[in-house]
Each structure stands twice: as structure tokens, then as C-alpha cells.
């Protein structure tokens, strides 16, 4: 097998930082410089992971504050203005600092080159630049929080966002900078998948995770510039008084909604497509069964990426859009469910007669199928005009996007993290606690958000600080659910951090995966592969067999050749 690794096998040591002669990418050099200036995709992936999980923690704190405020009608812990700022920051942090970079930047960065048998991504310096831009954008958002935040909602709708006081310019500038981080990551992944596939690995020889990252990258590169232009126009109107969106200045506020959702709807697929890619890996590896309908799953990722650009108008059904446009966007919205359903049915077909291991990665994969099912199907309620008029801007919407973003993407993120954790950090985590935490997250999540479907269908509006007392019981149940959810996340953080210090040493291939990342050491060396990996079919699990003595799955001698 050739590719860049073939040419220079000699392990190189990083030039950035104090080299130690350590054997793996974690201990081959030390010092803050060796991390912040690293060109190693694995270290960049880990830095993203730390930054993104810190953002999730911060966004989660705001979520718990929002839920605590909603425990009673009227004031509970904060006043109405502060409440508006809290849900806005919750949404903005969760979207722009956590879930958009999310799986691609953290897990994608670490795993993609390994699954290609490569030493790194095609453009390592651009990769590092995308991380620095992420940090830059995050600093703008944090500065905005420090200066009082914003109360516009994460959607920054005009003309309110061009007139209200608050750090709108800081936040939107942060979003603008973060956009470049996303574009550069996408660009890097597209070039790497095109140029660094080893000889013998055709497009249909790649793991499906890479197809999903590829489809995501297309959206990152094509859609994100639209968001960049939109926020620049918003800043121009706010700072210079140029009439673009504000009717008082001769602008059109609905134009902003078109621009904003032309990015933000495809953006939901930047979130969910990588998650779907993770699920394809988890379902097949942890049922030790070839994925069912490989090509249909691969094509469905591309189909979703294309269709995602054609449905943004379903966010404007009650914004005075024409009936014709409403009908066209409604029909197109239904069509997106077809490629999504293909994935769900193929995952279920893969499980059929599989050797299913009910460990944390599989439990999260099974939870994903159910919760994504609920999230997706309730999307059809909102895609149909008659029901959307009733449900728009209610808690039904809040529940819907938390089932898709939280119940699906975050759950898949957790599944992928537990799947690749032994590879990334060379340690096994407590299986028992991972199952307990997965159960708590699952129950807590459904108690929090299923309740919101019920109160939303009864007319409870979103973004309301106060509410009629008939909704109190739902809010109390939902808040208790969110505390359970938080406990589940805290337990997860504890045993994962514990595993870094005290965890059992991980074998190279603890789960019996057949894709190339499992042929590297756990954790990998700086250059990834000490010897050329053997090119295998990523879903042919007969290539390896379990070795009781080491707890490792080893390539069969006849495969190794």
C-alpha cells in the first residue's frame, strides 16, 4: 500500500517544544508551546475536544439556569432581561462553540488521517490556523458575555438585533471568525480525502464516517460564507445605519431571515451528518456485522448535503412567505426524511442477527436511533404547513431541536468518544459507570424534553420568562429532568478523567474494529503508523480475532501476509 506514510516510515519527532523521546503523540514532547503550535492532527483534535467540551459545560450551565428560572411562573432566580440573555447565550454557545465544530473538529481531526492510513491531514498549518481561529472567535463570545451578553435569541433576528443594546457586534464578530475555522476544517478534510487515500482504497473502500465528514465538509465550505456575509451586513446596519434589514431604514427584516436560515438550516446537517457517520461505525463494530447497504448509506450522506440547501424556507412559514413558496419548501422538507430514513433502516438491518455488545458505544448508538427517530419525525410535523402554524415558536420546536441536536448529535458524540477513547488516550474507562451514566443521560434527556413536546402542543411559547400556572407541572418535570441529565454528564466526566490517570492500559484494538485506526498503537505514535498498515475492508470483521491473553483483537496471520 503506498501513500505518504510509505515514503517516510522513519518516525519523526515534532520540532515544536521540548522533545522527550517519549513513544506516543501525548508524551513525545511537553510544554504549552508544543501544543499550541503543534501541526499534529491528533493534538489539534484533542485541543478541540477540550475546548468544545468546555463550551458544552458553559452552555450547560446557562441551560440549567434557564431551567431553574422556569421552575415557577414569574421570577424564580433572575429578572426577565437576564433570562433573555441567558437563553440567548445558551443557544449561541451551544451552536457556535460546541455543536458546529463538534464531531468534525474533535473526533474527525483525530480519526480521519488514521482511517486513511495517513500521517496527518493534507494541510496541517491550515488545520492549526482553524483551531486558533476557533479560539479567537470564542474570545469574542466570552468578551460579549463579560460585557453583559445579548438578548436577541441565537438567531439575531432584525430589526431587534440592530436596535437593542448589548454586545451584538462582539458576538456576531465572534460568529464571523468561527465561520472561517469551520470553512478551513471542511476544506482540509475535502483535500485530505481526495488526495490522501492510500493506493487501493477507493471511495467505496473508505469507512462511512469519512463519507459523512466529506458531505459535512461540502456544506461547511459552501454554506458558511453566507452566514459570514449576513452578520457583516447586520454589523454594517447597526454601526453605520445603512438600511438593509431595518424597515425604519428602508430595509427588509424577512430578508435577514432568508439569509440567516440559508446557512442555519444546512448547518443542522453540519451537526447531524458527522453524528450519523459515527453511528454507522458503532453499529457495525459493536455488532461485529458488516454494515447493511454500504453504498446507500454513503450516497444518502451526499443526498442529505444537497437537499439541505433546498429547505431553509420552512423556518419562514409564518413570516409572510407566499403560499407557493410555503408549499414548495414543505414538500422539499419531507424529501429530506428519505435519505435519513435509509440510514436508520440500514442500521437496524445491520443489527439484525448481529453479535450485539451492550457496552457504552452501542447503548449510545441504540439511543441515537430512537431519539433521532423522534427528532426526525417531529420535524415532519413542523414541515407540514397546517401543524406548523400552530406549533411555531412553541416548546414543541424547542423539544424538536433538542431531540435532534442534543438527543442525537450529543448522544452520538458520547458514543464516538467512548468508542475511540482507548485509541485517543490509551486507557480503558469503567464499563460499569459508563453504562450507569448512559442510562442517566437517556432518562434525564427524555424527562427534560419529551415534556416540552406536550406543553408546546398545548401552546406554551418559547422564550417566555413567565407563563400561566397550568404549565407549572410540565416545567417542574422538565427542570428535574435537566438536573438528572447534568448528573449523568458529571459522572461521565469523572470516570473519563479518572481513566486518564488510573485506567487500565488499552490494547490497540479493544473492540475488534477493521478500519485502519485500529492498526495503530493506543495511543498512536507521533507519525501514526510504525509500519505500513494492512489495507482491509473496514466492515469485514473476519480479518481479526480476539486474543484472550491481551484482550486485543489481532489481525489474522493470513491477512497480515
Contact footprint for ligand HEM (CB under 6 A): 60, 63, 66-67, 87-88, 90-91, 94-95, 98-99, 153-154, 398, 402, 405-406, 410, 448, 462-463, 482, 485
Smallest separation (angstroms) from Cu ion to the CB of 392: 12
Q: Which residues bind Cu ion (CB under 5 A)?
A: 265
User: Alpha carbon 29 to chain centroid distance?
Assistant: 29
Query: Among 473, 428, 418, 468, which Cα is nearest to 447's?
Result: 473
- Cα–Cα distance, 162 to 413 (Å, whole number): 35
Query: Among 204, 368, 189, which Cα is nearest to 298's?
Result: 204
Residue 90, contacted partner among Cu ion, ligand HEM, none, CB below 5-8 A by kind: ligand HEM
With respect to Cu ion, which residue has the nearer C-beta, 3 or 383? 383
Smallest separation (angstroms) from Cu ion to the CB of 379: 8
Residue 218, contacted partner among ligand HEM, Cu ion, none, CB below 5-8 A by kind: none
Helix (H) / strand (E) element for 355: namely none
With respect to Cu ion, which residue has the nearer C-beta, 261 or 395? 261
- List the beta bridge partners of residue 30: 18
Residue 156 near residue 96, CB atoms below 8 Å: no
- List the beta bridge partners of residue 427: 505
Residues near 215 by beta carbon (within 8 Å), at least 6 away in sequence: 269, 273, 301, 302, 304, 305
Neighbours of 173 (CB within 10 A): 20
Smallest separation (angstroms) from ligand HEM to the CB of 57: 10
With respect to Cu ion, which residue has the nearer C-beta, 265 or 526? 265
Smallest separation (angstroms) from ligand HEM to the CB of 451: 10
- Cα–Cα distance, 57 to 70 (Å, whole number): 20
With respect to Cu ion, which residue has the nearer C-beta, 197 or 265? 265
With respect to ligand HEM, which residue has the nearer C-beta, 37 or 316? 316
Residue 100, contacted partner among Cu ion, ligand HEM, none, CB below 5-8 A by kind: none
Helices in 246-316 by DSSP H: which ranges? 253-285, 294-307
Smallest separation (angstroms) from ligand HEM to the CB of 37: 30
Smallest separation (angstroms) from ligand HEM to the CB of 18: 37
Residue 485, contacted partner among Cu ion, ligand HEM, none, CB below 5-8 A by kind: ligand HEM
Residue 333, contacted partner among Cu ion, ligand HEM, none, CB below 5-8 A by kind: none
Residue nearest to ligand HEM (CB): 91
Residue 346 near residue 297, CB atoms below 8 Å: yes
Residue 456 near residue 467, CB atoms below 8 Å: no
Smallest separation (angstroms) from ligand HEM to the CB of 397: 9
Q: CA torsion, points 500, 120, 113, 134, in degrees to nearest 10? A: 70
- Cα–Cα distance, 238 to 167 (Å, whole number): 11
Sign of CA dihedral 267, 463, 67, 456: negative
Smallest separation (angstroms) from ligand HEM to the CB of 270: 12
Smallest separation (angstroms) from Cu ion to the CB of 158: 19
With respect to ligand HEM, which residue has the nearer C-beta, 65 or 506? 65
Residue 99, contacted partner among ligand HEM, Cu ion, none, CB below 5-8 A by kind: ligand HEM
With respect to ligand HEM, which residue has the nearer C-beta, 451 or 544? 451
Smallest separation (angstroms) from ligand HEM to the CB of 98: 6
Residue 526, contacted partner among Cu ion, ligand HEM, none, CB below 5-8 A by kind: none
Smallest separation (angstroms) from ligand HEM to the CB of 274: 13
Residue 262, contacted partner among ligand HEM, Cu ion, none, CB below 5-8 A by kind: none
- The secondary structure of 4-33 as a DSSP string is HHHH--SPPPPSSSEE---SSTTTSEESHH
- Cα–Cα distance, 239 to 235 (Å, whole number): 6
498: three-class secondary structure by DSSP: helix
Q: At what angle do helices 431-457 and 360-383 cross, to 10 degrees?
A: 10
- Cα–Cα distance, 469 to 476 (Å, whole number): 11
Smallest separation (angstroms) from ligand HEM to the CB of 401: 6
Q: Is 293 left (phi over 0), alpha (psi -120 to 50) or beta?
A: left
With respect to Cu ion, which residue has the nearer C-beta, 269 or 450? 269
With respect to Cu ion, which residue has the nearer C-beta, 214 or 269? 269
With respect to ligand HEM, which residue has the nearer C-beta, 245 or 529? 245
Residue 265, contacted partner among ligand HEM, Cu ion, none, CB below 5-8 A by kind: Cu ion
CA distances from 301 to 212, 233, 276 (A): 6, 32, 9
With respect to ligand HEM, which residue has the nearer C-beta, 259 or 403? 403
Q: Between vectors from CA 108 to CA 107 and to CA 109, what angle results, nearest 5°?
A: 95
Smallest separation (angstroms) from ligand HEM to the CB of 364: 15
Residue 197, contacted partner among ligand HEM, Cu ion, none, CB below 5-8 A by kind: none
Residue 257, contacted partner among Cu ion, ligand HEM, none, CB below 5-8 A by kind: none
- Cα–Cα distance, 182 to 195 (Å, whole number): 20
- Cα–Cα distance, 479 to 260 (Å, whole number): 30
- Cα–Cα distance, 397 to 381 (Å, whole number): 10
Residue 258, contacted partner among Cu ion, ligand HEM, none, CB below 5-8 A by kind: none
Residue 94, contacted partner among ligand HEM, Cu ion, none, CB below 5-8 A by kind: ligand HEM
With respect to ligand HEM, which residue has the nearer C-beta, 103 or 410? 410
Q: Residue count of the chain, please give it.
A: 561
With respect to ligand HEM, which residue has the nearer C-beta, 28 or 279? 279
Amino acid at each position: 500500500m503506498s501513500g505518504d506514510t510509505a515514503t517516510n516510515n522513519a518516525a519523526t519527532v515534532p520540532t515544536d517544544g521540548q522533545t522527550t523521546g517519549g513513544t506516543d503523540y501525548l508524551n513525545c514532547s511537553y510544554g504549552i508551546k508544543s501544543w499550541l503550535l503543534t501541526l499534529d492532527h491528533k493534538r489539534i483534535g484533542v485541543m478541540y475536544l477540550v475546548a468544545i467540551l468546555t463550551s458544552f459545560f458553559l452552555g450547560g450551565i446557562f441551560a440549567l439556569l434557564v431551567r431553574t428560572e422556569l421552575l415557577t411562573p414569574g421570577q424564580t432566580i433572575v429578572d426577565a432581561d437576564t433570562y433573555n440573555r441567558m437563553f440567548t447565550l445558551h443557544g449561541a454557545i451551544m451552536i457556535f462553540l460546541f455543536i458546529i465544530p463538534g464531531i468534525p473538529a474533535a473526533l474527525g481531526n483525530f480519526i480521519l488521517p488514521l482511517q486513511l492510513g495517513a500521517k496527518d491531514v493534507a494541510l496541517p498549518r491550515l488545520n492549526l490556523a482553524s483551531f486558533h481561529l476557533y479560539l479567537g472567535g470564542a474570545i469574542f463570545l466570552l468578551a460579549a458575555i463579560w460585557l453583559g451578553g445579548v438578548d436577541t435569541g441565537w438567531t439575531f433576528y432584525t430589526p431587534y438585533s440592530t436596535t437593542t443594546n448589548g454586545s451584538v457586534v462582539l458576538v456576531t464578530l465572534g460568529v464571523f471568525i468561527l465561520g472561517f475555522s469551520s470553512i478551513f476544517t471542511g476544506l482540509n478534510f475535502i483535500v485530505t480525502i481526495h488526495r490522501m487515500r492510500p493506493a487501493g482504497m477507493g471511495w467505496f473502500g473508505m469507512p462511512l464516517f469519512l463519507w459523512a465528514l466529506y458531505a459535512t465538509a461540502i456544506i461547511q465550505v459552501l454554506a458558511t460564507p453566507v452566514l459570514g456575509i449576513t452578520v457583516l451586513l447586520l454589523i454594517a446596519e447597526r454601526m453605520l445605519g445603512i438600511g438593509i434589514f431595518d424597515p425604519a431604514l428602508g430595509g427588509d427584516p424577512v430578508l435577514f431571515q432568508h439569509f440567516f436560515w440559508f446557512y442555519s438550516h444546512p448547518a443542522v446537517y453540519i451537526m447531524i451528518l458527522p453524528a450519523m457517520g459515527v453511528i454507522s461505525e458503532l453499529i457495525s463494530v459493536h455488532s461485529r456485522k458488516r454494515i447493511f447497504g454500504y453504498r446507500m448509506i454513503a450516497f444518502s450522506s451526499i443526498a442529505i448535503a444537497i437537499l439541505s440547501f433546498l429547505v431553509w424556507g420552512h423556518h419562514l412559514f409564518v413570516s409572510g412567505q407566499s403560499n407557493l413558496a410555503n408549499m414548495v419548501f414543505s414538500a422539499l422538507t419531507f424529501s429530506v426524511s428519505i435519505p435519513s430514513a435509509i440510514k436508520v433502516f440500514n442500521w437496524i438491518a445491520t443489527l439484525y442477527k448481529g453479535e450485539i455488545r451492550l457496552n457504552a458505544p452501542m447503548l449510545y448508538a441504540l439511543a441515537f436511533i430512537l431519539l433521532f427517530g423522534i427528532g426526525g419525525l417531529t420535524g415532519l410535523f413542523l414541515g407540514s404547513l397546517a401543524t406548523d402554524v400552530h406549533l411555531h415558536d412553541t416548546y414543541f420546536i424547542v423539544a424538536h431541536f433538542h431531540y435532534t441536536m442534543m438527543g442525537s448529535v450529543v448522544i452520538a458524540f458520547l458514543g464516538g468518544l467512548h468508542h475511540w477513547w482507548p485509541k485517543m488516550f490509551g486507557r480503558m474507562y469503567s464499563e460499569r459507570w459508563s453504562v450507569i451514566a448512559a442510562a442517566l443521560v437517556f432518562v434525564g434527556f427524555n424527562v427534560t424534553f419529551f415534556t416540552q413536546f406536550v406543553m408546546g402542543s398545548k401552546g406554551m411559547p418559547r422564550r417566555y420568562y413567565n407563563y400561566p400556572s397550568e404549565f407549572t407541572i410540565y416545567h417542574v418535570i422538565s427542570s428535574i429532568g435537566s438536573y438528572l441529565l447534568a448528573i449523568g454528564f458529571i459522572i461521565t466526566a469523572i470516570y473519563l478523567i479518572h481513566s486518564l490517570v488510573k485506567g487500565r492500559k488499552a490494547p490497540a484494538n479493544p473492540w475488534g474494529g477493521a478500519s485502519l485506526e485500529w492498526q495503530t498503537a493506543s495511543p498512536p505514535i507521533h507519525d501514526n503508523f510504525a509500519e505500513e498498515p494492512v489495507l482491509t475492508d473496514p466492515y469485514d470483521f473476519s480479518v481479526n480475532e480476539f486474543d484472550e491473553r491481551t484482550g486485543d483483537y489481532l489481525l489474522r496471520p493470513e491477512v497480515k501476509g
